[in-house]
Structures are given as C-alpha cells and as structure tokens.
Amino acid sequence: MSLRRAGLALLRQQGAPLVESLSATTQQAQGAVREAVEGCSRGVSTLAVKQRMKSVGNIQKITKAMKMVAASKMRSATAATENSRGIVQPFLRMLGDMPDTQGAKAVFVPVTSDKGLCGGINSTVCKYTRATVKAVRDGAAAADSGEAAPEMMLVVMGEKGRAQLQRDMRDNIYGTVADTNKVKITFPEASAIAEELLKTEYDTARILYNRFVSAINQKPTIATVLSPDALERAAAEGGAMDSYELEGPDRPEMLMDLAEFQLAATLYNSMMENNCSEQSSRMSAMENSTKNAGEMLGKLTLTYNRTRQASITTELIEIISGATALAG
Amino acid sequence: MLLVPADWRVAGMTYLKYSNLCADMVRAALKEPAKAKAKAREIIYFRQALWKDGQPQKQVITDTTGGSGGKLS
C-alpha cells in the first residue's frame, strides 16, 4: 500500500495536467489490486493454497475431537480393566505360565479391534501371531519327530485382525468373532466365546493381545491356557500345579471345570486389556495427527502469505511503472 | 464320594454355562438400584462366523439385548 502512495506522490510531483487521466488509471489499478487480494481472477495460485488450508484445518479439528473421545473412553475403561486382572492373577499363581507346552491341537486367538485409526497395535498382534505359530511348529518339530505336526487353528477376534491374517493364513482360520465391544464387554460374552473355543477341543490355547501398561505403553502379550489333559501332563512333569494336593475321585471333573473357567477368565481379561489399549493407541495416533496437521497448516499459511504478498507487489510494480511511463 | 459327574455336566452344560446361569439368578435376586446396574453386566452381543476351506460360512449374531443394542433409547 505504501508503494502505491509513493507512486501517487511521484505523479503529483510530475505535473497536474496528467493527474486526471492518471487518477482514472489508478482507480482501475486499485480495483485490480482489490481483485487480486480477494483471490478471484488473478489469485488462482492463492485459491489452491487456501482450499488446502481449509481441508487441513478440518482434518485437524476432526482428529482433535477423535482424540478427546478416545481419551474419555480410555479413562472409563481403565478401572474395569484393572479390576478384571484380579480374576486372572490367581490362575497364574496357581497353575503357572507354560507357553512352550506341546499338544496335538494348538488354537491361537489374536485379539484385535474392529475399527481402525488406532495406531500399530493390530499389526503388532498379527505379526506376533505369525511368529508364534511358526515357533510352536518349529518347537514341535524339534521336540518329537515321531508325532505328527500339531494342527494349528486360528480364531481371529476383530475385523482388523481378520483382514490382515486372511491374506496368508486363510486355511488355518477356524472362525472369526467381531463386534465384541459394540455394546459392552461382559463376562457372559467372554464365556459364550470361550464355549465356542472349547468346541475346537484344543490342547493348548494361546491368546495374543495388547496389555494396557499405561496411556502411552501397550505391550503385546501371549496368554497360554491348557486343556485338562495338557494340565495333567504338565503337572506330572513338575509344573506349578504339582505343589497342590488334588486328591479325590472328582479330580478330573474339577480340572475340567478349572480349565474352562481359566479360559473364560483369561479371554475376558485379554478383551478388556486390548480394548483399553485400542483407546489409548487411538488417542496418541490422533494426537500425532493433530500435531502434524497443525504444522502443515503453519507451513501452508506461510506459503499463502508469501504468494499473496508477491501478487500484490507485482500489481503495484505494474501500476507504478505504467504511471511513470505515462508521466515520463 | 460320588463317582459320576455333576448333574449339569451330565446334562451337557459346561462349567461356564452353569456358573453364568447361577450368576444370572443371583443378579435377578438383587434389589432395585443394584439390579439395573447388574443387568447391564449380563448383556451378550457379538457376531461370529465359522470358516471352512478358507471361506467364512454364515455370520451368526448372538444377541441377548432384545434388539435394542443395550441402549435404553
């Protein structure tokens, strides 16, 4: 704007008779400058940047809202998750954790989420599933070369896990479960799913999930649940259970009840932990997204202002050089 | 001691079904404000499909919410 004033001052110096015709010209030029500033006919380059800024701004608002929703869901899920740990700890203390148990039928239960935009937790679980299946297969091959290879079955929980695992482990999938946290994760729901798992008549069941350590830390975990027969064998080999006297004619009965309950309790805990991990992972993913969108918006604003100022300067130079050409 | 399994095991129920039924009965015996909160813990809703030869068979929805999806409104 100061350039325009300087140009007009120059015109006044040069002489009055040209002023009237020149003022008309400057009026026209002023109109043109206004047009450029509003970005209509001459502001094509600024328009593109402005549209991009608008869309990035929208993305920033949406991801910020998603982060807050995930944070509030995580807060309410944390208490219930920590309470659900109390149902699994006694089993770990009494029966111990024996992830290297062999058997004829091995079932793997990767627990994943149904919705996306939750960071890398689902990919981690699927990666661990593939590695664990391979490890159990190799372990069986190394241990007894006399027995047949164990049958590997996958019961995938969550749509995201299904999509990833059906690419290369399609033939191992026994079943899929979805919409588990659509209404509420409850123990009866975990029991219903556990009953379906019991129908596979597994020897070992390995549940892979993300354990909720803190809002920024989710640890991939494998929980191993054995069938009553596998438990007996482990006890005979001197597992933790051997320290307890379990006499009586109803010992096999009791072991069966115990194994069934252990499966449901472990599954319930893993579903709760994975749900909480999903919310916290989504929260940090959306936080990063908001931050990146903000940075992008800052860079675009600088570009926009630079382009805008450059077009105004160009207009003014044209006006002033036109005016000086007419004057001189 | 009895050498036959328990009645419910003979009837074909797993321990999970038996204990969840007992829990349902305990929840039904509660008095009102606690009862509504406890009923919320009884809901089962999930979708499952068994797979054969790498293809999913029919999707089966297990739903005890009576179609309301657990929401009151």
Q: Which residues pair with A273 in a beta bridge?
A: none
Candidates A166, A180, A253; nearest CB to B46: A180
Q: Which helix (H) or strand (E) holds A217?
A: strand A217-226
C-alpha–C-alpha distance, residues A240 and A254, integer Å: 17
> Is residue B66 left, alpha or beta, with left meaning phi > 0 and alpha meaning psi from -120 to 50?
left
Candidates A183, A195, A261; nearest CB to B69: A183
Closest residue in B to A179 (Cα–Cα): B46
Cβ–Cβ of A195/B9 closer than 8 Å? no
**Spatial CB neighbours of A308, under 8 Å, sequence gap ≥ 6:** A37, A39, A43, A46
Residue A246 buriedness (CB in 10 A; 0-12 / 13-18 / 19+): middle
Cβ–Cβ of B6/A187 closer than 8 Å? no
pLDDT confidence of residue A233: 80
- CA A165 to chain B, closest CA, distance in angstroms equals 11
Cβ–Cβ of A182/B19 closer than 8 Å? no
State the amino acid at position A167 in one-letter form.
Answer: R
pLDDT confidence of residue A237: 74
State the amino acid at position B56 in one-letter form.
Answer: P
Say whether pLDDT at B2 is over 80. no
pLDDT confidence of residue B69: 62
Say whether pLDDT at B67 is over 80. no
pLDDT confidence of residue A26: 56
Tell me the average pLDDT of chain A: 87
Say which residue, A300 or B63, is predicted with more confidence.
A300
Say which residue, B38 or A36, is predicted with more confidence.
B38
Greatest pairwise CA separation for chain A in angstroms: 123
At CB < 8 Å, which residues of chain A contact B?
Answer: 166, 170-171, 173-180, 182-184, 186-189, 191-196, 198, 248-250, 253, 256-257, 260-261, 264
pLDDT confidence of residue A239: 66
To test the contact with chain A by mutation, choose from B3, B10, B14 the residue with the greatest count of A C-beta atoms within 10 A, namely B14
To test the contact with chain A by mutation, choose from B8, B10, B16 the residue with the greatest count of A C-beta atoms within 10 A, namely B16
Reported ipTM: 0.91
Cβ–Cβ of A175/B62 closer than 8 Å? no
Per-residue pLDDT of chain A (328 residues; tens, 9 = 90+): 566 676 666 666 665 555 555 555 556 655 555 554 444 445 677 888 999 999 999 999 999 999 999 999 999 999 999 999 999 999 998 888 888 888 889 999 999 999 999 999 999 999 999 999 999 998 888 877 667 778 999 999 999 999 999 999 999 999 999 999 999 999 999 999 999 999 999 999 999 999 999 999 999 999 999 998 888 787 777 666 667 777 777 778 888 898 999 999 999 999 999 999 999 999 999 999 999 999 999 999 999 999 999 999 999 999 999 999 998 7
User: pLDDT per residue over A75-116, tens digit each?
Assistant: 999 999 999 999 999 999 888 888 888 888 999 999 999 999
> Exposed e or buried b for every residue in A99-120, given b needs 16+ CB within 10 A?
eebbbbbbbbbbbbbbeeebbe
pLDDT confidence of residue A141: 85
